[in-house]
């Protein structure tokens, strides 16, 4: 059921503490941790504590949590000192877009120049 922890979800296991991660920030609604395969000097995943398969389903069901996720990403950018030079927040949706864990999450990327268009 959407919103409920999923036994086979890696990110649900990180939220519960069953899988270790380098957590940089936690709130009542989100957990943020360093990506194990960073694509930039700063690469942090910001995930909701509730399980939804992608950002659109999270926003439709729990818009306040989606807003918290974005606010926390911005605050982390400040803590990581990438807010002045610029950063990117990316939501991949579906396997064709590169989503490999089907638990809504944002990639916070910074610390290097970002090209446009991405991909």
Catalytic residue ranges:
105
Q: Which residues pair with 26 in a beta bridge?
A: 31
Please give the DSSP secondary-structure letter assigned to residue 110. Answer: E
The angle at the Cα of 105, spanning 104 to 108, to the nearest 5 degrees, equals 165
Reduce the secondary structure of 76-92 to three states and give it as a string: HHHHCCCCCCCEEEECC
């Amino acid at each position: 059921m959407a919103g409920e922890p999923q036994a086979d979800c890696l990110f649900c296991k990180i939220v519960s503490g069953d899988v270790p991660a380098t957590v940089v920030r936690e709130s009542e609604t989100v957990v943020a941790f360093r990506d194990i395969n960073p694509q930039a000097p700063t690469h942090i995943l910001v995930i909701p504590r509730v399980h939804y398969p992608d950002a659109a389903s999270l926003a439709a069901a729990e818009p306040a949590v989606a807003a918290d996720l974005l606010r926390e990403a911005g605050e982390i950018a400040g803590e990581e000192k990438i807010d002045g030079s610029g950063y990117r927040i990316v939501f991949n949706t579906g396997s064709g877009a590169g989503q490999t864990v089907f638990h809504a999450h944002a990639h916070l990327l910074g610390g290097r120049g970002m090209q446009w268009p991405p991909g």
